[in-house]
Amino acid sequence: MQFGPLRGTASGTFGPLSARYGWEVLVTQEASRHLQTVGIRGLVPVRAELQGLDSGVVLYELELPLRGLLHRDAVLTGPKCPTCGGYEARISPEPWLDGDVLPHDVDIFRPANGTTFTFVNERFVEAIEALGPSDVMFREAAVVPESRTGSVH
């Protein structure tokens, strides 16, 4: 893991929202401005230092807050590692969120016990879809017990 801005080489065409490996979330400069203008909460855009982009293309990696949890039944804990003391964890391919600790102060987040997953709410989806086709497909995620404030993607 490296701290600081995302560095490297990029090529191709980018939509308003892209995800590399599923956990590196990138937005164009236009998308970043739009998301901030419409009041999307939880955004910390960090300008990516990427070579090979077309002239004028600026991408930002979103530093996402850790909030909420995957539901305990979506995370299977295995044996303790004798070397490091950590526990092996396996996460359901279709994880669901714990509604008792669902964050309501952000529109995009990573659960503390599933940091390779990114979740957004309907406000975020609508804001991104207003910008046109994106490089990311949203799927609705279950919340158990059900949230009283809408769905999560």
The 10s digit of each residue's pLDDT in 56-82 is 899 999 999 999 999 999 998 888 888
Q: Which helix (H) or strand (E) holds 51?
A: strand 49-51
Partners of 25 in the β-ladder: 19
The DSSP symbol for 104 reads S
- pLDDT band at residue 153 under the 50/70/90 scheme: low
Instruction: Give pLDDT, residue 51.
Output: 92
Q: What's the mean per-residue pLDDT of the chain?
A: 89
- pLDDT band at residue 151 under the 50/70/90 scheme: low
Return the exposure string of 4-35: e unless at least 16 CB atoms fall within 10 Å of the residue's CB, then b.
eebeeebeeebbbbbeeeeeebbbbeebbebb
Q: How far apart are CA 30 and CA 62, in angstroms?
A: 14
The DSSP symbol for 141 reads B
The 10s digit of each residue's pLDDT in 5-29 is 889 999 888 999 999 887 789 999 9
